[in-house]
Chains A and B, each alone.
Chain A
Amino acid sequence: MEFLYYCPGFADIPVSAMILLAAAMALAVVPFRRKLMDGVSLGLIGAAATVSLLANCDRLLLAALIFTAVSVYLAFYIQRRKGV
């Protein structure tokens, strides 16, 4: 049940959710195998959202972090689409 370990910097935020979101944001900028990367990136954000609903954490702060991750993903996605 590692998602119950909380991040020391961000009180009430599970470490696992932070890692999932960081990985999702990192994958949003990878320049190859885009369809696969898009799927994995969104899957990781979905997993972080699931953690936020399962764990006893600060849901609003985690929601803010999830929106940040979605924004980063969308920003790069739109940039790529514009380039097509």
Chain B
Amino acid sequence: MILSSGTFLIFLAVCLTGHYLLPGKLRNFWLLISSVAFFCYAMPVQALIMMVFCLVVWLLCPAMAAAQGRLRKTLLWAGIGLGIGFLVFYKYLAFLATSLGLPTTGAVFSLVAPMGISYVTFQCIAYLVEVYKGRMEPEKDPIDFFIYALFFAKLTAGPIEAPQAFLAQLKQPRPFSLHRAKKGLLRMAMGFVKKIAVADFLAMGVAAVFQKGGQAGGWAVIMGSCMYAVQLLCDFSGYTDIARGAASLFGIALTENFNAPYMATSVRDFWRRWHISLSTWLKNYIYIPLGGSRVGTLRRYCNVMATFLVSGIWHGASLSFVFWGLLHGIYQAAEMLLEPVGKKLRSAVGMRDDSPVRIWLCRGITFVMVTVAWVFFRADSIGTAWDMLGCLFAPWGSFTKAAKLCGMDFTAVLLTVSGLFCAHLMGKLLALDCKKQERNSAVTHICVCVVWSVLLVYMVCVAAGGGSSFIYFDF
């Protein structure tokens, strides 16, 4: 069930009705039933397997919390090993076999991975580590734990939630609030606009350019890669907005995953703004345990590279993703290495750190670096990506032909620009609503809810037959 589809809107309406009709004590149980139904609708067998995995993790944690010394550590590693083994079995088995030159024929290689396996596994690992470190008590209520792992709004593509914050929300009463419903619907509408008006529309042009690969020409590569940068942002942040909006209708606040990533002034800054929940997870459970930045320079670079290698592998079982992760690691290492040189240069020229010229120059350079890395992320293979980048060092060809290949006619440009502008203003309105106390009457709230609901239905009608899955569902 795609979150930007009419089916999801109907499902959400049914879940919401049940949720608020039931007494407070039964609401979490209803939320769990809804989440299991959402999972089973797509893949019933895999849903069962995933629930068994979650049950094992839930049972393991009290035993681990009660144990001391070596046994405690063994139980932690048993849980983490189970999670990683589960992930490797479903996502990386064929990749590993191919890399080792082994045959990939047989039923085991054609198994379909459970929906959101990477997200659920990472959340379970976070829970295990937090309990092991004593930063939280093991969750006693299995219903709450299963909602934490399998809540339908965040099941398919995150955000990867921290267990303490999420579980604490489930313990609180969540009465219906018109103001919250209004904000949730607005956030969902914003996600629908980003996904349907911008991402899905750009996807066709991007696919045409990347299909041509090295034959596309310089202009087409520049247009295609920039369009992909925008498509990926709108697709993933659109999904996150829909997920966060849907969750807030149930009174649950999910983590923010994006903060204007293309306004980042360095690659390090980019990772503080892009897929924030994954970056936080990698920092907390990979980078810091490896020693973080409190070690020698060389070791620090190794830690950065290892963290980004994990990030690359997490995104998919292919060498392109591994290379993309390593490229980001190299970017960050280079930034750390060149930081003192940059400071000296700025003081020599007399440029302040907050100078607009410096900020915009840094933003431009960061965007170019990130977009170059996206070419490896999107291309079929590393070779194709190199061929495409090689086009930039040959004659660029005709701009008009490139625009035609990218499908950038009057309608496309108008739809993309108006969609982006509309989503931006919706975001501003949302921020304004968060800052100011809401004093409007119930009738006004209801009217606004109706407006955003109509916009949601309209978006579904516009996309009828043309809606596509979210890119991050595959990860």
Encoded as 1 (CB less than 8 Å from any A CB) or 0, chain B from 416 to 445 comes to: 001101100110110010001000000010
Stretch from B5-13, B365-373, B454-462 contacting the other chain = B454-462
Contact-residue bracket for chain B: 20 to 34
A56 within 8 A of B: no
Question: Are the CB atoms of B462 and A63 closer together than 8 Å?
Answer: yes
Question: Are the CB atoms of A63 and B428 closer together than 8 Å?
Answer: no
Question: Are the CB atoms of B415 and A67 closer together than 8 Å?
Answer: yes
Given that A53-B458, A59-B462, A77-B429 are contacting pairs, would A67 and B411 also be in contact in the complex, using a CB cutoff of 8 Å? no
Question: Are the CB atoms of B432 and A67 closer together than 8 Å?
Answer: no
B contact residues around A71 at 8 Å (CB): 418, 421-422, 425
Within residues 368 to 411 of chain B, which ones have a CB less than 8 A from any CB in chain A? Answer: 410-411
- Chain A residues bordering chain B, tally (CB within 8 A): 25
User: B411 touches which one: A42, A53, A64, A78 (CB < 8 A)?
Assistant: A64
B contact residues around A75 at 8 Å (CB): 425
A contact residues around B444 at 8 Å (CB): 35
User: A63 touches which one: B415, B421, B429 (CB < 8 A)?
Assistant: B415
B414 within 8 A of A: yes
- Kindly report which residue of chain B lies nearest to residue A70, judged by CB atoms: B422
A contact residues around B193 at 8 Å (CB): 67
Please, how many angstroms separate the alpha-carbon atoms of A77 and B461 in the complex? Answer: 26
A contact residues around B415 at 8 Å (CB): 60-61, 63-64, 67
Please, how many angstroms separate the alpha-carbon atoms of A81 and B201 in the complex? Answer: 32
B155 within 8 A of A: no
- Kindly report which residue of chain B lies nearest to residue A74, judged by CB atoms: B425
Given that A67-B197, A71-B425 are contacting pairs, would A81 and B414 also be in contact in the complex, using a CB cutoff of 8 Å? no
Question: Are the CB atoms of A61 and B414 closer together than 8 Å?
Answer: yes
B contact residues around A35 at 8 Å (CB): 444
Given that A53-B461, A61-B414 are contacting pairs, would A78 and B451 also be in contact in the complex, using a CB cutoff of 8 Å? no
User: B436 touches which one: A61, A74, A81 (CB < 8 A)?
Assistant: A81
Question: Are the CB atoms of B454 and A49 closer together than 8 Å?
Answer: yes
Within residues 31 to 84 of chain A, which ones have a CB less than 8 A from any CB in chain B? Answer: 35, 39, 42, 46, 49, 53, 58-61, 63-68, 70-71, 74-75, 77-78, 81-82, 84
Question: Are the CB atoms of B461 and A78 closer together than 8 Å?
Answer: no
- Which 7 interchain pairs have the tightest Cβ spacing? A67-B418, A74-B425, A64-B415, A64-B414, A67-B422, A68-B418, A71-B422
5 CB-based A-B contacts, threshold 8 Å: A61-B415, A63-B462, A74-B425, A78-B429, A81-B436
With A64-B419, A71-B425 given, name 11 new contacts (CB 8 A): A49-B454, A49-B458, A59-B462, A61-B410, A61-B415, A63-B415, A67-B193, A68-B422, A71-B421, A75-B425, A78-B429
Residues of B within 8 A of A (CB): 193, 197, 201, 410-411, 414-415, 418-419, 421-422, 425-426, 428-429, 432, 436, 444, 447, 451, 454-455, 458, 461-462
